[in-house]
Amino acid sequence: MGKLEHLIEFYYSCILEVRIETRARRMKKFQQLSARQQRMLRFMTAFVRENGYPPSIREIGDECHIGSTSVVNYNLNKLVDAGFIERSGRVSRGLRIVRGIPDVETPTRLASSQPLQVALVGRIAAGEPISLPDDIAHHIDEDDYISVPPALLGNSDASEVFALMVRGDSMIDAMIQNGDIVILRRQNTADNGDMVAAWLKDDSETTLKHFYRRNNMIELQPANPAYQPLQVLPGNCEIKGKVLSVMRAYA
């Protein structure tokens, strides 16, 4: 065996050792969790694998026989502290598995509901605004539909919602990343803190941001410190929809 072959063999043996060591550390950290937290993490990991989106607080509580949402939240925060998940309180089902458990099997009882067809009307900027038709919620070609699990629509009917693919990273701290698909309910009003698709009339551009009223201005706030909020006059800002949920790019 030549010198190059020895180097390649050594390189791959080092990679294997690192992977084994990383897995061992992860399993050790998992074993340090309480039995309840282990069960919750196993359920969430299996749920995401089967459905492509995270479970709700109520679904986690039902699975783990926890009647109190505050107890569920307490244990979820422990999983955040341990580095296994990330949370966003501003998005429905705002959980993301950071460290999954490799040996989790998908329970057969997690049966997916019949998906609904939702119009995918284009892309939206999570960064600098991008051009889209000002009637984005109605600018639909007949083939522009995606299958969406009913749970992501909440109480909304499929005819009341539309979907946009995210471009950019200005909402990353709200756990919305480049390539994710946001599901929105069609509406033209918003409360402070709502995540919305906002049409900037003067610029003929649309952006995804948190909505706030500040004195006589509208502030469209990103969820990434690398970006500055947008200050616009109320007459220049038209709400096209409120974000209900997110379909992850990895789903």
pLDDT attached to residue 237: 92
- Is the residue at 103 inside a domain? no
pLDDT attached to residue 111: 45
For residues 62-75, average pLDDT: 87
Give the pTM: 0.56
Picking from 46, 67, 97, the residue at the C-terminal end of a domain is 97
Same domain, 65 and 149: no
Structural domain count, the chain: 2
Same domain, 77 and 142: no
pLDDT attached to residue 211: 94
* pLDDT tens digits for range 106-145: 444 444 457 788 888 877 777 555 555 455 545 444 457 8
Same domain, 66 and 151: no
Same domain, 167 and 206: yes
- Is the residue at 106 inside a domain? no
What are the catalytic residues?
Answer: 170, 209
* pLDDT tens digits for range 186-205: 999 999 999 999 988 888 88
* pLDDT tens digits for range 209-231: 999 999 899 999 998 889 999 99
Dihedral, CA of residue 230, residue 232, residue 236 and residue 242, to nearest 10: 50
Same domain, 25 and 79: yes
Same domain, 42 and 120: no
pLDDT attached to residue 113: 58
Could you give the residue ranges of the DSSP H alpha helices within 69-121?
69-81
* pLDDT tens digits for range 159-191: 788 888 898 888 888 888 888 889 999 999 999
* pLDDT tens digits for range 94-105: 788 876 665 544
Same domain, 189 and 151: yes
pLDDT attached to residue 250: 54
pLDDT attached to residue 14: 41
Same domain, 128 and 243: yes
- Is the residue at 219 inside a domain? yes
Segments forming the whole domain that contains residue 87: 3-97
Same domain, 91 and 120: no
Strands, DSSP E only, in the chain?
85-87, 95-97, 116-125, 145-148, 161-167, 181-186, 195-200, 205-214, 217-221, 230-232, 237-247
Same domain, 38 and 121: no
